[in-house]
Amino acid sequence: MNLKLTKYPTLIILSIFAFITGCNQITNTPKVGTDKVKSWEVIGPGGGGGVLKPTISPFDENLVMVHCDMTAAYISEDGGGNWRMINLWNVPEDFEFDPVDPNTVYVATRGFRHSEDRGSGISLLYRSVDRGEHWRIIYPDVSKAMKVSRLQNTDFLPSEVIPGAFDGSIDKVAVDPANNQRIYLGLSPLRYYMGHNGKREDAHTAMLLLSTDYGESWGLVANLPGKKVKAIFPESEGGSPGEVIVFTESACVRVNEATGKITRLALPVDRLIAVEGGRDNNKNLIYIQSAFKNENGKIKGGMFVSPDSGKSWASINNGLLGGLAEGLVPSFRRGLAVCESQPEVTYISTKNPVVNKKGEREDIYSIYKTVNAGASWEPVLLSSTPGGYITKNFKGSWMEESYDPGWGGNPIDLGVAPGNPDICFAGDNGRGYKTPDGGKDWEQVYSRNLPDGSYTSRGLDVTTCYGVHFDPFDKKHFFVCYTDIGLFNTFNSGESWFHSINGIPRDWQNTCYDIKFDPEVKGKVWSVWANAHDLPRTKMFGRDGNFDRFKGGVAVSNDNGRTWGKSNNGIPENAVCTNILVDKNSPAGSRVLYVTVFDKGVLKSVDGGENWAKANTGLGGNLYAWQLRQNSEGRLFVLFARGLRNGETVGGAIYFSDDNAGTWEELPLPEGVNGPHDLLPDPTNAGRMYLSCWPKSTDGYDEKGGVYKTGDGGKTWRQVFDGRVRVNAAGMDPKQPNAIYINTFQNAAYRSDDFGGSWERIEGYRFKWGQRAVPDINNPGMLFLTTYGGSVFYGPAEGVPNAFEGIENMPEGWW
């Protein structure tokens, strides 16, 4: 959120637009398989991932936007009661409501350099003039863009694709309150989204851009000292028209818009974490947040305020430093929210290490508030892992029932209503929440609590999921495996959800990668777990590619997941278990099971999981075991993900076994492929399989990804889907093997009705990072699409023809 130095008009009562059917609208959780589901909906419990940048309209305190760190934005028109997902191609970076037009809002999205894992991203500024229903790109000028197919699969600079574009990523948006034709952008140099791919990042500095014609054209005002733009304050109402104050992480400058001349203003600290400000008739206040430091027993840094547009600063830490453990200081994430119309009212987020009554260190997750411009701070929400909600003023949902406050931590971001200092939203690692009364009470805004102890989403779905798993004995019962929040199941076709972690060790609970039902024993289920999440993404490999520091294992339930017990004898405690296969031909009383363990290979049990033993004979040096499959003739396959070891790429591989994992033999991959990601055997034809792949980068272009097909068990392969695309996985309904579905990490899912011979995009679905496509075997014609950051989409397997997908002027081929 960009906070301007301006006074806002009285709140205006606005009529609420009717929602338009399409994938960019997510309403209440539907009942799976009903006739009501005619468009794409998101199902699940809500929450579970980062909730960032809560930003509230200056005209309507019920109109709120937030975003997730995994690509989607969300808008609420009822103060967090319900949320609607908006997909804008890349991860949002900033929101800005127009200070003049109550219907207009801006969203800036992040740009990033190309990497094999994530591809490329171009930073865009979107504008909606109808409260977030429709969006147009207004920066850069995409009407001038070169025709490029699969833009995100190419290593490029924005200026190479769009004349007049600047090579940077938008950090901040500001609209001049005196003239909303004037729009400012603060850009940082382009970086890699995750990791560096061994390349050097751009050595440029931040930039300030300005449009004086409502976004029709843009010019560079100045290059800025620093790398990251923290805040932009137009001085049109501050006594210096034609000037703007800009903060980066290391500087405060006054910029002359006509000449580009920069005047540096002294800061009391070297580095800034967050900057916000506001103005009323009497006060013009800017707050800065910096790291606390303990220098020989004297605490420096923290919070400062300026009453004169950055000319002078005063330290304002009174009330923040009490009870600290010796030698320690509070820490900030960046949560700082200033009421723009009453800037003496401000909220901040801290983690305070204190000494508790037992004489032990205890981290207190805190929100503090000042009503006197920082002269004093008072806590309005306090919590800790051992102490729970210390202030006893938080009304929660399933996250508060399942986890202690340390799971979410103190807020990453805060946002206060510009016209009402009593309304403040907060977002942390897994939740959104708000206060309606100045911090006296707080309540979550991500889920609904139902009378039977189950939960359903409000539309704020912000976490990664892997599979959807159907109970063979009950069509209304199925599981969804999640990152960060483990496992949920529903007994009423998705109307509501129960958290299925009872009995799972605490240090396993982060991620459930897979579950399997016993095909003959009702209620019996096996699951595999790890506290290493987001596999097999490159970011998880670290420097050395070693996973011994993580924990995980196998669990079994005999009551449909209501309770679980460890089934780990023979499995090391540091086992990152990612997939499980049940040999359906083995006896029900002594099932043969196989499990993949990332960085350790394959384990086998011949007694239903009571005991396990290694089954790695014949495997190669890459033991990043990701997936097990079995064809209709009983042949086993194990897929090893591409990874990193000491900074070097380790190519993926597939092995097969015809002796129940006694020995393995390598199955040659298609020529040049090193990123196998998913193997789908056709249950009606043992020789036919589909291999989904992640591309590799060659001379700045992605290749050897997409989908390959074999009809002879892998002796030969033929590419059947675009090799530039990051295809996560394929799915098939065994009753309709000609229909193949794939989900990609590139804003789209596809369907083939001729065994992969041709493909059509599934319209209405545009989530950026897709995971898997799972046909609903209990409701023909319906499809689940799991995602990396947006829970599970559910809708028509043929898509929603001609669905409006949110963006009016996205260049053809960019997706």
Q: Give CA–CA dist 229/319, Å, rounded.
A: 29
Phi, psi of 540 (to 5 degrees): -80, -10
In sequence order, what are the residues at sequence separation of 6 or more whose Cβ sits closer than 8 angstroms to the Cβ of residue 778? 33, 470, 475
Three-class SS string for 439-502? CCCEEECCEEECCCCCEEECCCECCEEEEEEECCCCCCCEEEEECCCEEEEECCCCCCEEECCC
Pair of tokens at residue 704: 């050897």
Say what the pLDDT of residue 24 is. Answer: 41
Q: Output DSSP code: residue 507.
A: G
Handedness of CA 141, 146, 148, 153 (dihedral sign): negative
3-state helix, strand, coil in the chain (%, to 5): 5, 40, 55
Helix (H, G, I), strand (E, B) or coil at 153: helix
Terminus-to-terminus CA distance in the chain, angstroms?
A: 27
CA atoms of 273 and 289, how far apart (whole Å): 5
CATH code given to domain 464-625 = 2.130.10.10
Give bridge partners of residue 464 from the DSSP assignment: 788
Torsion angle, alpha carbons of 406, 410, 413, 414, to 10: 130
* Cα–Cα distance for residue pair 628/595, rounded to 1 Å: 7
442: Cβ contacts below 8 Å, ≥ 6 apart:
381, 393, 394, 395, 426, 433, 434, 435
Q: Quick one: DSSP state of residue 624?
A: B
Start-end of H helices in 505-567: none
pLDDT at residue number 283: 81
Nearest alpha-carbon partner for 65 in 90, 83, 43:
83
The pLDDT assigned to 202 comes to: 57
Q: Distances in Å between the alpha carbon of 814 and those of 116, 203, 746, 747? A: 18, 27, 10, 10
**In CATH, what is the architecture of 41-449?**
7 Propeller (2.130)
Task: Give the position of tokens 């055997």.
Answer: 681
Placement of tokens 């600063």 in the chain = 313
Query: What's the predicted TM-score (pTM) here?
Result: 0.94
Best CA proximity match to 28, nearest among 460, 443, 497: 460
Q: What is the structure's pLDDT at 406? A: 95
**Average pLDDT per run of 10 along the chain, which is 815 residues long?**
36 34 44 71 97 99 97 98 97 98 98 93 98 98 94 95 97 97 98 64 84 98 98 86 96 98 98 96 92 95 97 98 95 98 98 94 98 98 97 98 97 98 98 99 99 98 97 98 98 98 98 98 99 96 95 99 98 98 96 99 98 99 98 98 96 99 99 98 98 97 98 98 98 96 98 98 97 97 98 98 95 84
CA-nearest of 576, 601, 600, 604 to 591 is 604
Query: Which residue ranges make up each domain of the chain?
Result: 41-449, 464-625
Length of the chain in residues, anyone?
815
Report the alpha-carbon distance of residue 205 to residue 120 in Å, rounded. Answer: 20
The token pair that represents 1 in the structure block: 């959120």
Q: Which two tokens stand for residue 361?
A: 């260190």
Q: Would you call 514 helix, strand, or coil by DSSP?
A: strand
For residue 313, give the amino acid letter: W
Peptide bond into 189 cis (omega under 30): no
Domain pair 41-449 / 464-625, same fold: yes
- 43 vs 28, 31, 246, 323, 748, CA distance in Å? 8, 9, 42, 44, 18
Pairing of strands 394-395, 442-444: parallel
Angle of CA points 333, 409, 277, to nearest 5°: 35
Return the pLDDT at 8: 34
**Edge-to-edge strand list for the sheet holding 206-211:** 168-175, 183-189, 206-211, 219-224
Which of 553, 714, 732, 694 minimizes the C-alpha distance to 637?
Answer: 714
Nearest to 708 by CA among 665, 678, 751: 678
pLDDT per residue as tens digits for the range 714-724: 999 999 999 99
* CB 653, CB 637: distance < 8 Å: no
- 565 sits in which H/E element: strand 565-566
pLDDT digits (tens, 9 = 90+) for 396-416: 999 999 999 999 999 999 999
Q: What 8-state DSSP symbol labels residue 199?
A: P
Residue 127: C-alpha distances to residues 89, 101, 107, 494, 735 (Å): 14, 12, 7, 34, 45
